[in-house]
Structure 1
């Protein structure tokens, strides 16, 4: 799957790692409402493509997942700053 890496020069590998690190940082630095979004630009950095559409849970299951995710943030980051900022498109 990652055979393309074997043919890359040192400079190409450094460029690839730099692009991947930047994408990971952008994803990591998401905050507030941006935590809830689908991030296909991150997956687009992979050399292999996928035509698979994500399986989207029905609303009740989806909302349970959102609530559980938010609860996990309380557990894992109990001292993180909180916001009352509304969602804006």
Structure 2
């Protein structure tokens, strides 16, 4: 069974509603900024019809932090003119 077999049973109107729901979720994720860029995203994954508990493996702290630094460095090179969000988490 293909994970997307359910799509073949939806009407045109249901498919359009599904596309809109997925686009809304993708835009919400795309438009996140500041500290929201670095978080676990179960709401985004929840847009999929299959309900699974993600099998998340967490790196040890030093490797995790090096990954965060690399991610932030990639933002500097890919978005060099992005405004700075100079706030602590939770502010």
TM-score (norm 2): 0.91
2:40 aligned counterpart, secondary structure: coil
Cα separation, 1, equivalents of 2:87 and 2:35: 9
Q: Judging changes above 3 Å, is the alpha-carbon distance between structure 1 residues 52 and 38 closer, same or farther for their aligned structure 2 residues? A: closer
Aligned to 1:42, the other structure's residue is in SS state: helix
2:21 corresponds in structure 1 to: 19
- Note the C-alpha offset of 1:46: 0.7
Identify the residue that residue 55 of structure 1 maps to in structure 2.
57
Aligned to 2:85: 83
Aligned residues: 89
User: Hey, what does 1:67 align to over in structure 2?
Assistant: 69
Gaps of 5+ in 2: none
Q: Displaced runs of 4+ in structure 1, greater than 4 A?
A: none
1:34-58 CA distance string (max 9 Å, x none)? 1111110111111112233311111
Report deviation, 1:85: 1.3
Are 1:32 and 2:34 matched, yes or no? yes
CA root-mean-square deviation = 1.2
